Structure 1
Amino acid sequence: MTPSDLLHALHSGTPVFGTLIVSPSPRWPDAVRSCGLDFVFIDTEHIALDRAELSWMCQTYTALGLPPLVRIPSPDPYTATMVLDGGAAGVIAPYVETVEQVQALRGAVKLRPIKGQKLQRMLQGTAVEADLQNYIEEGAARRLLVINIESVPAMEALDDILAVPGLDAVLIGPHDLSCNLGVPEEWEHPKFLEACETIFRKARAAGVGAGIHFWGDVEQHARFLKMGANMLIQSGDISLFQKHLRLELAAVKKAAGMAAAASSDESVQV
């Protein structure tokens, strides 16, 4: 899938699937590309990746047909420009709550390379030269702008946010959103589920992609798709490694007759 393919899928409602990748290991891309993904999500908000590592990862995944979407540490247009210069197919901006933030990110992602006063005039609706307009539109079709919706204020401003031109998708950050709603990590709580459904519904009605990054079970992921999501980021490399290693070690211990002994030891310690 190319970045343009991904952009079209998000706006048309076609489901696309990715996963969180934080390992810069050179062996990782070859393993990841055979997993049936449409794109990869690289996080620099919570994970320490330097600029050179990030650029290498972006260039490699792009060459493998897995457009890399990079979450930047804050909704900062200058950082957005930096990761795009490094090879990112698109930017995910965390904890966005205002139209002004989205407009600034739009300028960095969709109207590049324009800067300064000319950029501000364009963001205000001033027309530019036809050749420049065509050049900008051609580039914008290959770069994605995604924002995290992670709070009640973001939901309250969602209608206006979705009306900003050039926004390709909104992505729910479930941990922050559930905490902001007052129901931390209560994934089955009606308040959390209603918020997710509202975000998905409004985004799709606006022709904008609707996504979530989640690490729960298969039934929970399927439910989000049925609720209207068309961008699913399934868990991440660290979480998947931890989950499957636990399962395999437990199976090995059980097969070796060690499970009962381990349970007995734990009960004694308690």
Structure 2
Amino acid sequence: MDSGRKTPGHRAKALQRFPRHDRRGEARLPAVLATLAAVLLYLVLPEQLLFLPRFVLPGLELLLLIPLIAVNPRRMTRQNRLSRIVSLTLVALIGISNLISLGLLVHAMVTDKAQEGGPLLLAALQVWATGIIVFGLAFWELDRGGPVARTQAERSELPLADFRFSQDENDDAVEEVADGSSRTSDWVPTLMDYLYVSVTNSTAFSPTDTMPLSPRAKALMAIESVAALMTSLLVIAHAVGVLDK
């Protein structure tokens, strides 16, 4: 027998010594990089997909990001009502602006502006990529009270889950799988898990291994699926139009 493998008793004792809510919070850097990527994608959109001067929205988004970094510069362990409002406002601002850009893209593709095929096809890719980022951030901010609550609060104090991950139901699987389950290892999802959910939802147009549970999670996934489908249909329609010429 491998003496290095921990028994369930050892794992339970470890969790008692280091409960999830006493551990270090989730790293701030991945969320900052994701937000900056969304801002950069907006900055390089074609002019006809902008509804405000180019630097207005990115400037406002960066202004909202700065206090969030100040509150939790390295690890996300602190949260108050104001920081929660600011973080949700930031995600909502990026999401709404991207949906408006999608609407402008649809208008441009079905009018004579579609003659500018190359730039608009690139813009469609930018809008699609921004959608993946912003919906991933939205899932991350909302599920179980947000990234701070997921690591700092007792499980009994967490709001109802918006998503059910595979790890949430793997505690009765074979040992090497069960070791990573929520019940056994006190696992909680991070930003990467929510970005993966967003990627699969925007490509398959439906949930894959992670199921939405709450009405708001289902609504967000539905909006993302429809937006991604519209973007894909626009690109396909334009490609067919080019081939027919």
TM-score interval, normalised by the smaller of the two chains: under 0.3
- Structure that is richer in strand per residue: 1
Q: Scaled by the length of structure 1, what TM-score is found? A: 0.25
